[in-house]
Amino acid sequence: MIALIDYGAGNLTSVRKALGHLGVRFSTPTSPGELTGARGIIVPGVGNFEVTGALGPEWRTAILEQVSQEHPLLGICVGMQWLFDGSAEAPDHEGLAVMAGLCQQLPEAVAADDPDVAEGSGVDGRGRLKVPHVGWNSLRLTRASWLLDGVNEGDQVYFTHSFAAPVTDDCVGSTRYGVDFAAAVERGQVGGVQFHPEKSSDVGLRILGNFLRRVEG
């Protein structure tokens, strides 16, 4: 059973549909104690990092307990950012801190000679970048990963965000939008994606399937 965490951060319906398409049994726990029987956890999310404040100490403790028992955890979009120390978007709210680093806002301008200044890149000829970053962009694979198993270099996935995590040793896939940022991360049984796999066609379903296979062991 997968526990799909509902903390008021949106996109729950689309994730439910994707899991249903994959034939997955899942529940939406109403209290931290209900995580006890879960074999894996998904923390979705869209919007401001401040919404993660709803995941208070009891939720954090319960989720970390599941992680300590080697139960896979997947963060999506804001849910991925929550895996880090925190975000400049809401400095008063701490992340789960299973990965080191602080999420920062994407730049609103780049140098006119930056390689991103090209048709379809979101950057105009004067180096102005459209933020939030909304739409399809390609993945650059940075190291071997169970989360991105079967995903190819350059595969396109769907983003909608203004803040992003840094490229660290936990990054398994990056994307460039004004700057390079972590599009997918992995540490042990914990994984995260900045994009929305539930809206990323076959590539996204492949990634969700990889997570489910990890849960099944």
The catalytic site residues sit at 77, 196, 198
Give the β-pairing of 156-161 and 133-138. Answer: antiparallel
Q: Residue 40 in contact with residue 211, Cβ under 8 Å?
A: yes
> For 93, which DSSP code?
S
Q: How far apart are alpha carbons 6 and 51 in whole angstroms?
A: 11
Count of CB atoms situated within 10 Å of the CB of 131: 17
Q: How far apart are alpha carbons 39 and 99 in whole angstroms?
A: 21
Q: How far apart are alpha carbons 65 and 208 in whole angstroms?
A: 22
Closest CA to 128 of 110, 113, 116: 110
